[in-house]
Structure 1
Amino acid sequence: MRDLFFLFLLSFTIVYKSMAQTCCSGGVPLSSNLGLPNEGKGIIIMGLNYDYNNLNTLNAESSKLDDNSRQRITNSILLNLGYSITDKLAVEALLSWVNQTRTITQFGNEEFTGTSGIGDAVFLVKYSLPNVLGKNTVFNFGLGTKAPFGKSDIKSEQGIQLTADLQPGSGAWDGLGWLSISKGLKIRPSATISGSLTHRLTGVNNSYLNNAATYEFGDEIQANIGYTDQVLLFNTLFNPGLIFKYRKAFEDKIDSQGIPNTGGEWVFIRPEITVKLSQNISINTRYELPIYSVVEGTQLTPTSRFTTGISFKLETKKEVLILNN
């Protein structure tokens, strides 16, 4: 009963905090790939992931339109690096390489636009508080920034600067706040319920369109709540999980004026599984599908997302044994 009460409280808290804000439907998956665990002082975690995001659904507010003439695809290579300075204090970096394509098919003609390059990066400082909310709980919070490493001024073959949503980078510094909480269940010791909240306050690109304008992506909130378990099969540990994600983004702005057909709300369901090949090597795979969306005006919105990768854990600290003669 206590576990059920905790789950209800966690769900209510995350949903309530999320009902406050809205980002564009595509782009680099920075916020949704944060949150490496703190494995203890001196531990380094490295993760390499491939992320495929397909946007092929045209929505008018909450209605799906019978129109598949437009498609956006984002392919991202993501490198996560985490280091635990102490058992509670850790730092994390997320670096990205991005390939974005847009295909418009009309009247038998196809218009294709694509860009590739280094994307923006995230740097985060995190602090863990075990058992602060009860036994078998871990509460984490962090603050960080998104640095504009990627180009934001790529031009088409005709010499025209491409729109902001097709650029590998945003051209702006963002502020990030992150928190997460997890709890092991008494009724099933191998299971865990968890939740996380990420809030991104976007900055302004002051050199948009060759310094002719300013551009600001909408602020963004993402909230996740999920259940994971642990199963031993063929002498290998499998961690299946089911996650529900809520995402809300404000409208984009050009010269401080809101841009129509930007911003919205989405709810996704995400089955995922992690396979521990050894104590220090894991493979993870997840598949994300939208189950609810309402956008401002008419927009191309996510159809499906697939992410897979591998992570490594390295121990830098060494135990020194001193013998007294």
Structure 2
Amino acid sequence: MYKFLFLAMALVSSSFGLFAQTCCSGGIPISNSIGLPIENQGSWQFSLSYDYNNLNTLNSGSDRLDDDSRLRITQSLLFNTGYTFTNNLSVELLLTYVNQKREISQFGNVNSDETYGIGDGVLLFKYNINHLFSSNSTLRLGAGPKIPIGATDLTNDAGILLNADLQPGSGAWDLIMWSSYLHSFSFRPSGTFSLTALYRYTGTNDNYFNNTTTYTFGNEFQGFINYTDQFLLFKTLINPGVSLKYRWAGKDEIGESSLESTGGKWVTVVPSLNVRISKKLLFISKAEIPVYNYVEGTQLTPTFRFTAGLFLTLSKKKNELLNLNKQI
């Protein structure tokens, strides 16, 4: 009975609308960076990765405008660590450092703003349910807070307070829910099919703009359909994969009003490649290629995104997992 209860919770969480942090779909990629696997009891996991997000595509609704005068680049350093208490229960911590740059070119002049700083963090508690429908299936559920440790009061060179979408932090506590269903195939044990959903219920920054108003980022849903496999290439294990990602973001709110040109829908294809360096160390990489964008109003939208890093597992027991896909 408890299996069906947990499954119902996962389906409910996947039906709502996780992480935008910006009116133009830049921001820190927190939601893309959580979900470490649950390893053997007593295992420590560490991941350090670099994320580059280039936004040079201006959209009005689903129409791409012939305008390249606006550019936004977000570069993030992401540190994940996780510990497995039992074979079913684990905890994960994500810390971030972000550099955001925005340029607007007009009549030969370039107006540029740039910020650096520690971003918000995430503490996620996860539970594993093995053999949900068969011996080859697993359901993972997670929940926890996004912790507002990033700055929200940075100014530009003229001393003017920057808007919320350029600040490293959000100034608000949020609730994150995460669920992932994995299924491997008897005819191909190294292959894994997975469905993943993430949801963030956003809190409110009550001290926005020198305590004169409030700011609330829009809620966001992300859903993934993913397949990964494993091959031996020149005596090296590689783990290629591909995902179809859907993201919906609601409008931001300032005070009691919805903020125009925020929120939208995005569909991307996400190819990935992981390479086993040693028994404990894994090189991870993925890219995001836009397929469809629909934004509210007129907004910059991602042109290209790339993530690469290293993943380390320290375990008391030998890792018997066939699939090397360590991150979603």
TM over 0.5: yes
Pairing 1:242–2:242 present: yes
Alpha-carbon offset, residue 234 of structure 1: 1.5
Radius of gyration: which is bigger? 1
Whether the 8 Å CA contact 1:178–1:199 is kept in 2: the answer is yes
* 3-state SS, counterpart of residue 29 of structure 2: coil
Q: Give the equivalent residue in structure 2 for 1:195.
A: 195
Assess if the C-alpha contact under 8 Å between 1:18 and 1:248 holds in 2: no
Q: By how many angstroms is 1:311 displaced? A: 0.7
Residues 282-321 of structure 1: matches in 2 within 5 Å? Answer: 282-315=282-315
SS where residue 191 of structure 1 aligns? strand
Preserved CA contact (<8 Å) 1:44 1:316: no
In 2, Cα distance between the equivalents of 1:174 and 1:116? 22
Number of residue pairs the alignment of both structures matches: 306
CA distance, structure 2, for counterparts of residue 184 and residue 86 of structure 1? 22
Partner of 1:158: 158
Matched residue of 2:303: which SS? strand
- The one-letter amino acid paired with 2:180 is S
AA at the equivalent of 2:193:
I
Counterparts of 1:72-87 in structure 2 under 5 Å?
72-87=72-87
Distance verdict in 2 for CA 1:239–1:91, change over 3 Å: same
User: Which blocks of at least 5 consecutive residues in structure 1 are unaligned?
Assistant: 1-9, 319-325
Residue 19 of structure 1 deviates from its aligned partner by: 6.3
- The 3-state SS of whatever aligns with 1:189 is strand
| In structure 2, C-alpha distance between the alignment counterparts of 1:180 and 1:21, rounded to whole Å | 16
Q: SS of the counterpart of 2:194?
A: strand
Deviation at 1:274, TM superposition (A): 0.5
Q: 1:317 to 1:239 in 2, by over 3 A?
A: closer
The whole-number CA distance in structure 1 between the counterparts of 2:166 and 2:140 is: 34
Deviations 1:131-169, CA, capped at 9 Å, x for gaps: 112221111001111001110110112111000000010
- Counterparts of 2:15 and 2:296, CA distance in 1: 16
Alpha carbons 2:14, 2:198 under 8 Å: kept: no
**Structure 1 counterpart of 2:17, from 21, 33, 44:** 21
TM-score by length of 2: 0.90
* 1:86-125 superposed matches below 5 A: 86-125=86-125
SS in 2 for 1:190: strand
Task: Give the residue type in structure 2 aligned to 1:186.
Answer: S
* Offset at residue 17 of structure 1 (A): 7.2
2:206 maps to amino acid: N
| 1:183 aligned partner | 183
For residues 144 and 238 of structure 2, what CA distance do their matches in structure 1 show?
32
Q: Mapping of 1:27-66 within 5 angstroms?
A: 27-66=27-66
**1:279 Cα deviation after fit:** 1.2
Q: What SS does the corresponding residue of 2:93 show, helix, strand or coil?
A: strand
Give the Cα–Cα distance (whole angstroms) in 2 for the partners of residues 29 and 69 of structure 1.
24
Alignment gaps of 5+ in structure 2: 1-6, 319-328
What is the deviation of 1:20? Answer: 4.6
- Counterpart in the other structure of 2:326: none
Partner Cα distance (1:203, 1:291) in 2: 30
Identity %: 48
Q: 1:205 to 1:248 in 2, by over 3 A?
A: same
1:219 aligns to what?
Answer: 219
CA distance in 2, matches of 1:98, 1:107: 30
Partner of 2:4: none
Where does structure 1 differ by over 2 angstroms across 4 or more consecutive aligned residues? 16-24, 315-318
CA distance in 2, matches of 1:138, 1:82: 19
Partner of 2:137: 137
Aligned-partner residue type, residue 245 of structure 1: K
Counterpart-to-counterpart distance in 1, 2:189 and 2:129: 20
- Output the TM-score relative to the length of structure 1: 0.91
Opposite residue 21 of structure 1, the aligned amino acid is G
Query: Which AA in structure 1 matches 2:136?
Result: N
Cα distance per residue 1:45-93 (max 9 Å; x no partner): 0000000011110000000000000011000000000100000000000
Mapped contact 1:51–1:76 kept (Cα < 8 A): yes
Structure 1 position 186, deviation (Å): 2.3
